[in-house]
């Protein structure tokens, strides 16, 4: 998608790591920048973790989220573009947008507290002690697994399917596939269940069995709620986010090719 010209109001944010800070210092004097709350576009320097933090900050800002163009100064940088100092204006004018729909997690604790949090990559549930977690899993109000004995379970978006989900042997989901991955973490029983691929309209509910004896925490990307009793997960279509990529980056192609990495 050709934007014609780069937006006039741009903000620069950077991870606190030395490489990202050095790159930010290079760019700071070469372009005009505004505070993030005034920006029409944000340039983020760092790794995938910092990009997630930048996207989560969109949920706190007034008005609609703005596009984010990330440049990799971290390790993997799967969701980032290559770091280059030159021709930033030209790159921004030629970017290709990708829409990202986050998850919404509603977690209710054993004491009755309710926490609602967004997640861009995944919502995961993990045992808190040496005791195996026992979970009841429902999809669209229908119990599909009366008892799953495991270390945990996660729900991943296509954007997050190559992260924790892939490490847990979950499927890689192409961008735009309108699917979610429901992936167990070290499942013990049922022994043959390795997860499910669901339409992104699905509503997933997970109830902790024996929560006093087998406590479980819930994590929305990087934010944790401990001692949960139930967790409900669904796509939040009111919080659409936009990532910008160089045309040659082809994030959708990179996600597809991850299936052939040995």
Phi-psi region of 138 (alpha: psi -120 to 50; beta: other; left: phi over 0): beta
Question: In whole angstroms, how far apart are CA 227 and each of 107, 123, 126, 210?
Answer: 10, 15, 10, 11
d(CA 39, CA 68): 10
Is residue 7 scored above 60 in pLDDT?
A: no
pLDDT at 148: 97
Residue ranges in the chain assigned as alpha helix (H): 18-28, 48-58, 88-93, 164-167, 251-257
CA-nearest of 232, 225, 171 to 198 is 171
The reply to whether 151 sits in an annotated binding site is yes
pLDDT at 152: 97
Establish how many alpha carbons lie within 13 A of residue 73's alpha carbon, considering only the half-sphere containing its beta carbon: 23
Residue ranges, CATH 3.40.50.10330, the chain: 10-100+240-260
Token match 């109830």: residue? 207
The reply to whether 164 sits in an annotated binding site is yes
Token pair for 39? 């920006």
Residues contacting residue 29 through CB under 8 Å, at least 6 positions apart: none
Average pLDDT, the chain: 91
In degrees, rounded to 5, the angle at the alpha carbon of residue 230 between the alpha carbons of residues 191 and 189 is 10
The reply to whether 198 sits in an annotated binding site is no
The reply to whether 122 sits in an annotated binding site is yes
- What is the tens place of the pLDDT at every residue in 39-97? 999 999 999 899 999 999 999 887 789 999 999 998 877 889 999 999 999 999 999 99
d(CA 190, CA 147): 8
- What is the tens place of the pLDDT at every residue in 189-203? 998 899 999 999 999
Q: Is 253 assigned a catalytic role?
A: no
d(CA 134, CA 61): 38
Q: Does residue 53 contact residue 79 with C-beta atoms inside 8 Å?
A: no
The reply to whether 162 sits in an annotated binding site is yes
Cα first-last separation, the chain: 32
d(CA 44, CA 72): 9
Mean pLDDT of 168-189: 93
Query: What is the 3-state composition of the chain as percent helix, strand, coil, each rounded to the nearest 5?
Result: 15, 40, 45
Residue ranges, CATH 2.60.200.30, the chain: 103-235
pLDDT at 249: 67
Q: Which of 48, 87, 200, 253 is catalytic?
A: 48
Is residue 250 scored above 70 in pLDDT?
A: no
Residue ranges in 94-244 assigned as alpha helix (H): 164-167
The reply to whether 167 sits in an annotated binding site is yes
Candidate CATH numbers 3.30.450.20, 2.20.28.90, 3.30.460.80, 3.40.50.10330; the one for domain 10-100+240-260:
3.40.50.10330
d(CA 216, CA 218): 7
CATH superfamily of 103-235: Probable inorganic polyphosphate/atp-NAD kinase; domain 2 (2.60.200.30)
Mean pLDDT of 136-148: 98
pLDDT band of residue 16 (cuts 50, 70, 90) is: very high
The reply to whether 166 sits in an annotated binding site is yes
Is residue 6 scored above 60 in pLDDT?
A: no
pTM: 0.85
């Amino acid at each position: 998608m050709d934007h014609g010209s780069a937006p006039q109001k741009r903000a620069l944010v950077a991870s606190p790591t030395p490489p990202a800070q050095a790159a930010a210092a290079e760019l700071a004097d070469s372009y005009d920048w505004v505070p993030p709350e005034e920006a029409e576009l944000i340039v983020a320097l760092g790794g995938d973790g910092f990009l997630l933090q930048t996207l989560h900050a969109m949920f706190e800002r007034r008005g609609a989220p703005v596009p984010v163009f990330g440049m990799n100064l971290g390790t993997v940088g799967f969701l980032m573009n290559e770091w280059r100092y030159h021709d930033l204006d030209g790159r921004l004018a030629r970017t290709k947008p990708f829409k990202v729909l986050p998850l919404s997690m509603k977690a209710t604790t054993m004491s009755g507290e309710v926490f609602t949090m967004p997640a861009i990559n995944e919502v995961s549930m993990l045992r808190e002690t040496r005791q195996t977690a026992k979970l009841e899993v429902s999809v669209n109000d229908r119990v599909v697994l009366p008892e799953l004995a495991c270390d945990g379970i996660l729900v991943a978006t296509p954007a997050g399917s190559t992260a924790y989900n892939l490490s847990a042997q979950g499927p890689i989901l192409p961008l735009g596939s309108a699917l979610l991955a429901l992936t167990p973490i070290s499942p013990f029983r049922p022994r043959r269940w390795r997860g499910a691929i669901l339409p992104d309209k699905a509503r997933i509910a997970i109830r902790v069995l024996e929560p006093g004896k087998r406590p479980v925490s819930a994590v929305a990307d990087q934010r944790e709620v401990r001692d949960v009793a139930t967790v409900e997960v669904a796509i939040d279509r009111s919080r659409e986010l936009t990532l910008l990529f160089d045309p040659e980056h082809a994030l959708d192609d990179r996600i597809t090719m991850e299936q052939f990495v040995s």
